[in-house]
Amino acid sequence: MRETWVELFVPLRKSVHESPTLQYALPVIGVILAFYVVATLEEANSESERYFERLLRQEASHMSVEVQADWLALRDRESLRFAALDENLWVAETLELASADLQTTLRTIARDRVVGARIELTDPERLEHSDLWLIRASIAGRLEGDAVIAFLAALEMQEKTLVTERLSYYPTRGRSVNLHVVALFRVASRGDV
């Protein structure tokens, strides 16, 4: 097979040496072929770049759809949590009645469980950008016998939400207890209560 290639190039070489036109035309043809190869490679390269950019855009759109789906799911979960919280908010006609309702509830929790219970309430504070009011309260005293579990269960079983900010219990210091809670109130008209 090698002999065939050599046999093909011998007459071509002889023709190139004999014709000055071929001597100038072959390098021009070589340059044209080189430009064609380079142009074809550049086109293939730009096509692959466009394909890669299209893939990146598709990936970005898929990611944004996934993130959007995550946000929509989060919004739905938070809406459910807000609705549950809203159902358990304290509602009163006035702030004074709200404070009295909270104090009555805390006295009921402390009764038969906390000896010498001292209950203190702060003035209601309005939450920014909301129609809700916050009242902080504390119960201090000494737990009767093994009442710590019953005391915590009574707090947990409240129909309306009480958020425990701090609970200190000292079984070695006379079973003293100090509880700080927060209640969120909505002041509503007579028909809403």
Q: Around Cβ 176, how many Cβ atoms within 10 Å? A: 17
* Residue pair 181/152 in contact by the 8 Å Cβ criterion: no
The separation between the first and the last C-alpha atoms of the chain, rounded to the nearest angstrom, is 104
pTM for the whole thing? 0.55
Work out the number of other CB atoms within 10 angstroms of the CB of residue 110: 24
Q: For 26-57, how does the pLDDT look when each residue is reduced to its tens digit (9 = 90+)?
A: 788 888 888 777 777 788 777 777 877 877 77
Q: b/e for 140-149, b at 16 or more Cβ within 10 A?
A: bbebeeebbe
Highest mean pLDDT among 68-77, 93-102, 140-149, 162-171: 93-102
pLDDT cut 90: percent of the chain above it: 19
Tell me: the pLDDT tens digits for 154-182?
A: 888 888 888 888 988 888 888 888 999 99
138 and 178 Cβ atoms separated by less than 8 Å? yes
Report the amino acid identity of residue 139: I
- 3-class DSSP assignment, residue 177: strand
Burial class (CB in 10 A: 0-12, 13-18, 19+), 12: exposed
3 state SS of 135 = strand
Quick one: tokens of 2? 């090698």
Q: Where are the beta strands (DSSP E) in 27-175?
A: 90-92, 114-121, 125-126, 132-143, 163-170
pLDDT at 121 (0 to 100) = 95
